[in-house]
Structure 1
Amino acid sequence: MDVRAELTATVWKVVAEVGAAVSAGDELVILESMKMEIPVAAPEAGTLAALNVNEGDAISEGDVLAVIETS
């Protein structure tokens, strides 16, 4: 399952690590836009298979931030 950005922003902080087990609602990354911090949470439980961003990256709406493998 792809986790996509809902807005154009900058990656402020990467919280999760590839290979980690995540539950629905766990924070993966925190975005910054217009001086607001916007957490991006896992929509489903699974394993974080890929993290496509680093802190400081500029992202656009619809970009794939992470990939979660569900069972």
Structure 2
Amino acid sequence: MGQYAPFSDQGSLEEQIKGLADEELLDFWEETQQLAKMLDQDEAVDVDYNPEYERVILQELQYRTCCKGQF
């Protein structure tokens, strides 16, 4: 399962996402969707969800889909 560690020496979010296998990337995307849904439903939680995860994941999925069609 893919994980993003913002304070690690592994590089940026984009670099980490590019290194994930397709299935790991889809798992990570699903987890971010579940987290966002939980945060939306729980009004007692005072945490801002960062949509940057979703944007970067979707961008990588689109890139991979386009590239697979070219081969």
Which structure's residues are more often strand, by fraction? Answer: 1
Q: Greater Rg, structure 1 or structure 2?
A: 2
Q: TM-score range by the shorter chain?
A: under 0.3
TM-score (norm 2): 0.27
Which structure's residues are more often helix, by fraction? Answer: 2
